[in-house]
Amino acid sequence: MRLRVKYSKTGRMAFLGHLEMLRFWQRALRRAGLPVAMSHGFNPHPRLAFGPALALGIESLAEYLDVELAADWEPDRVREELQAQLPPGLAILLVQVIPAGAPALTAVIDTAAYRVSWLAAVDSGLLQQRVGSLLARTEVPVSRPGKDGRPRVKDIRPGVLELALDPPPDLAMLLQCSPAGSIRPEEVLQALDWEVPGRITRTGLFARRGDEFLAPEELNS
Amino acid sequence: MSHLVTDELLKQVSKPARYLGTEWNAVHKDWDENPAHMVFIYPDLYEVGMSHLGLAILYGAVNEQPGMLLERAFAPAPDMEDLLREKGIPLFSLESHRPLTDFDVVGFTLQYEMSYTTILNILDLAGLPLLAAERGPGHPLVVGGGPGVANPEPVAPFFDCFLLGDGEEALPELLALMGRLKKEGWAHDRREVLARIAALPGFYVPSFYDVTYNTDGTVAAVVPNRDGIPARVTKRVLPDLDAAYFPTRPIVPFLEVIHDRIMLEVMRGCTHGCRFCQAGAIYRPVRERDLAVLLGQAEELVRHTGHEEISLTSLSTADYSRVEELARTLAAAYEDRGVSVSLPSLRVDAFSVRLAEAVQRVRKSSLTFAPEAGSQRLRDVINKGVTEDDILTATAEAFQAGWQAIKLYFMLGLPTEGEEDLLGIAGLARRILHQGRELAPGKKPTVTVSVSSFVPKAWTAFQWEPQDVVKVLQEKQQLLRSHLKGPGLRFSWHDARVSFIEAVLARGDRRLAAAIMAAWRRGARLEGWSEYFRYDCWEEAFEETGLDPAFYAHRQRQEGEVFPWDHLDFGVVKGFLLRERHRARAGELTADCRSGRCTGCGVCPDLGVDLRLKGGPVDRAPAGEV
Ligand code: SF4
């Protein structure tokens, strides 16, 4: 059976990279006694699939993991047994059975929502002004390191779908996040020329369906 | 300062997972409810320190006791160190992200000499005075333990006290005492605290001993300078490991560490009696764990960690008298749970290889053996108890079982070593390669020879011997290198200059503390990593302090000489070591006391303990004399 697990990754856990999370889940699943299906082949490994990678240091309220089990378990039991194996900062939000043929997370997710809360006082008016002028532009070039390490200039404007003080003075962003291209929240801050230190949280991952943004758990119902 | 760490530091360093402290099974005890606070520091990077079984044992042993807590800290990587210095933030513990100076006790494990400069760096990053004599009422006690305590004298001025021997009972005793002293209001009186600690068995307070020197620079005497202080401090030893604490909920690191697996300690100590080996002497006597106890611990470990491998650890696991039963039972029990069994230290014989073959379903790329010396004569000198026949049957077994890469460890510069012993290494490697080609036709066998340099250590039969000078060691490496060229042969060696510094520190006295400090001031730290080792720091340090490293490393010591560590008692008697020295010179073997024939090392009567062998005595040893 195939399960989709939604979890949050907050506090110190935000500093775990993708590889560390993979190792962590493999061991947590084994501790929980879940009958995880193994891949075939020379070096069998548990069948796990993740959503789009999250940059180090960013907290998330919406991470996803698809796991295939060799036996049927009630989603509630999975949630309970798995939660018992997680340290503070990782919490299971949802466990859902999905069809065996459902497309992979990385194939459907194309949008990510972020929130920035500030670690120092901010002038909301000024920030609102900067947001307004960024949204009014047709092109917003930022430089990012290219594959060879040399900086490339990239226009992030088409990838900024929403940008607002919501709730003020927090900054909410809806950004493109797909294999075709992803905008990093830091790049938006850079384009805003906003240097107040903030804590960034990923608040959602979505698949765009016309004007609607559906969360992965809404796709298979 | 927890927010400071997460918001200011972790975003800017590589591998922030080193500093989180929230790994699975990490213990976060309440600071106020548990008044005795200790931080255990492994003076190397997280990946090295988290591979250390001793840390896991002591972490659990202290934290399961009420009234005390033990947190962890490691050497920061250079990028984190730069950041801490730049921002003026003190080094912190992992669990509560508190500065090290918040703790009552700061404990270091002394695993190897090349970590000593790192210890100073950590004290400095914590904002603590380096010298014990300069620390005052508000400062934590700095405690050392681990194998380096076999001769802690070069670092003695930096430490308030040392613990000799097994720590799982002694460390909770120390913290219970600290808790009492804090409650009674004595904790600020450092000398009173130290006097009370010195009264605990196994604890050595170096400032309560005066060292005097002869005109030739050797030690004249080390004597207590205070009433009620014992003339010799005897190590702690757990008589029965079955009754001892063992952690079944060890921390599961997020990062990939060097030994990333379950470590099941099957026994402590080793009876082989290799004459160069310090661990074999200071961890005596052998104490095996019961099979049923081990199987129970393994089950809990699998359940509580989720690891995919169980490693049967000890100094020489193939010697454990019920190793075969244990390994086979575990392998069968966990096969369908995807957990494998591994044997980290193989003895050079066919039995070990067959055992590895039986339990290790995944063929590791290579199989490693340690004949240590290239000729039978020299193997007899070091009491290795291994013949060329043993080696060749072991490697034949390995090739037949499907291994294609053999790794051989040797030591260069052993006492009495000559050119024929060195050429013996190359000859042996070629014979094994040839054997591999015959036994595994069509495959491409490789033989890797890896050499380290002999470092004479305290508490061994070779503690009187000089080390070869660096130039000679390098010439020997070159000679071997030129004889180990060709397809299928590989050669690797360790920097002889590192071994030289190790030799200076391993048998040094308190005066060397000045050189360690000078080397650290010049930038020496993390010297276990070849990329960070800086020989120039040491050259300048010796120059500046006027200490002659050759006096420590290259001098033939007199048999009557007082050693800097003679006031410490690890059970093995000096007379036994001296006898072993003479037998080495004569090329005579000494039996393994696992055979049931006690060879009189002195440990058992001295410490009032016995060998604990679960399968009864086994005489697998060569026909050595008692
Ligand atoms: S005293 Fe005898 S039996 Fe005990 S460890 Fe020493 S040699 Fe072995």
Interval B402-420 mean pLDDT: 94
Chain A: nearest CA to B125, how far in angstroms?
23
Dist. CA B578 → ligand 1 center (Å): 16
Which residues in B lie closer than 8 A to residue A24 (C-beta atoms)? 24, 254
Among the residue ranges B58-62, B106-110, B404-408, the one predicted with the least confidence is B404-408
Question: What is the edge-to-edge ordering of all strands in the sheet holding B105-109?
Answer: B68-74, B36-42, B105-109, B141-145, B161-163, B203-204
Which residues in A lie closer than 8 A to residue B252 (C-beta atoms)? 27
Dist. CA B574 → ligand 1 center (Å): 14
CB contact under 8 A, B338 and A11: no
Res. B338 pLDDT band, cuts 50 70 90: confident
Q: What is the pLDDT of residues B508-528, one digit of tens each?
A: 999 999 999 999 999 999 999
CA B445 to chain centre: 32
Residues with C-beta less than 6 Å from any ligand 1 atom: B 271, 284-285, 593, 598-604, 611
Q: What is the pLDDT of residues A95-141, one digit of tens each?
A: 999 999 999 999 999 999 999 999 899 999 999 999 999 999 999 99
pLDDT at A221: 65
Does B362 score more than 70 pLDDT? no
Atom of ligand 1 nearest to the CA of B603: 1
CB contact under 8 A, A28 and B306: yes
Interval B134-157 mean pLDDT: 96
Dist. CA B601 → ligand 1 center (Å): 5
Which residues in A lie closer than 8 A to residue B21 (C-beta atoms)? 12
What is the DSSP code string of B221-260? EEEESSTT--SSEEPB--S-GGGS---SS--B-SS--SS-
CB contact under 8 A, B306 and A197: no
**Nearest CB partner across the interface for A13, out of B7, B22, B303:** B22
The residue written with tokens 């559906």 in the block is A214
CB contact under 8 A, A30 and B20: no
Res. B435 pLDDT band, cuts 50 70 90: very high
Q: Would you give per-residue pLDDT tens digits along chain A (221 residues)? A: 999 999 999 999 999 999 999 999 999 999 999 999 988 776 778 889 999 999 999 999 999 999 999 999 999 999 999 999 999 999 999 999 999 999 999 999 999 999 999 989 999 999 999 999 999 999 999 988 877 878 888 899 999 999 999 898 999 999 999 988 899 999 999 999 998 888 999 999 999 998 899 999 998 76
Which residues are bridge partners to B236 per DSSP? B165
Under 8 Å between Cβ of B368 and B398: no
pLDDT at A179: 85
Res. B617 pLDDT band, cuts 50 70 90: low
Atom of ligand 1 nearest to the CA of B593: 8
Query: In whole angstroms, how far apart are CA B154 and each of A188, A208, B90, B148, B520?
Result: 55, 67, 26, 10, 14
Atom of ligand 1 nearest to the CA of B599: 7
Interval B5-17 mean pLDDT: 88
Q: What is the pLDDT of residues B177-236, one digit of tens each?
A: 999 999 988 777 899 999 999 999 999 999 999 999 999 999 999 999 999 999 999 999
Q: Give the separation between CA A161 and CA B606, rounded to whole angstroms.
A: 78
Query: What does the DSSP 8-state code read for residue B290?
Result: P
Which residues in B lie closer than 8 A to residue A44 (C-beta atoms)? 338
**Nearest CB partner across the interface for B10, out of A29, A38, A57:** A57
Q: Give the separation between CA B264 and CA B12, rounded to whole angstroms.
A: 37
Atom of ligand 1 nearest to the CA of B610: 4
Supply B48's token pair: 């090295």
Under 8 Å between Cβ of A109 and A178: yes
Q: Give the separation between CA B455 and CA B503, rounded to whole angstroms.
A: 5
**Nearest CB partner across the interface for A24, out of B6, B26, B254:** B254
**Nearest CB partner across the interface for B17, out of A15, A31, A89:** A15
Atom of ligand 1 nearest to the CA of B606: 1
Choice between B350 and B22, residue whose per-residue pLDDT is larger: B22
Chain A: nearest CA to B279, how far in angstroms?
33
Dist. CA B616 → ligand 1 center (Å): 15
Dist. CA B573 → ligand 1 center (Å): 11
pLDDT at B621: 45
CB contact under 8 A, B337 and A26: no
Residue of the CA atom closest to atom 8 of ligand 1? B593
Does B625 score more than 50 pLDDT? no
Q: What is the pLDDT of residues B32-86, one digit of tens each?
A: 999 999 999 999 999 999 999 999 999 999 999 999 999 999 999 999 999 999 9
Among candidate residues A55, A54, A77, the one with its CA nearest the CA of residue A65: A54
Q: Give the separation between CA B349 and CA B363, rounded to whole angstroms.
A: 18
Which residues in B lie closer than 8 A to residue A11 (C-beta atoms)? 6, 22
What is the DSSP code string of A172-217? EEEEEEETTEE--HHHHHHHHT--S-EEEEEEEEEEEETTEEE-HH
Dist. CA B188 → ligand 1 center (Å): 43
pLDDT at B242: 94
pLDDT at A197: 87
Does B350 score more than 90 pLDDT? no
Atom of ligand 1 nearest to the CA of B601: 6
Chain A: nearest CA to B303, how far in angstroms?
6
Residue of the CA atom closest to atom 2 of ligand 1? B598
Q: How confident is the prediction for chain A on average, in pLDDT?
A: 92
**Residues 172-201, chain A: which have Cβ within 8 Å of B?**
197, 199
Q: What is the pLDDT of residues B492-503, one digit of tens each?
A: 999 999 999 999
**Residues 8-27, chain A: which have Cβ within 8 Å of B?**
11-17, 19-20, 23-24, 26-27
Supply B299's token pair: 């089950």
CB contact under 8 A, B20 and A13: yes
Taking the whole predicted model, whether its pTM rises above 0.90 is answered as: yes
Amino acid type, B456: P
**What residues contact residue A36 under an 8 Å CB cut-off, 6+ apart?**
A29, A30, A46, A47, A48, A67, A68, A69, A70
Pocket test for ligand 1, best of B270, B315, B594, B599 (most atoms within 8 A of CB): B599
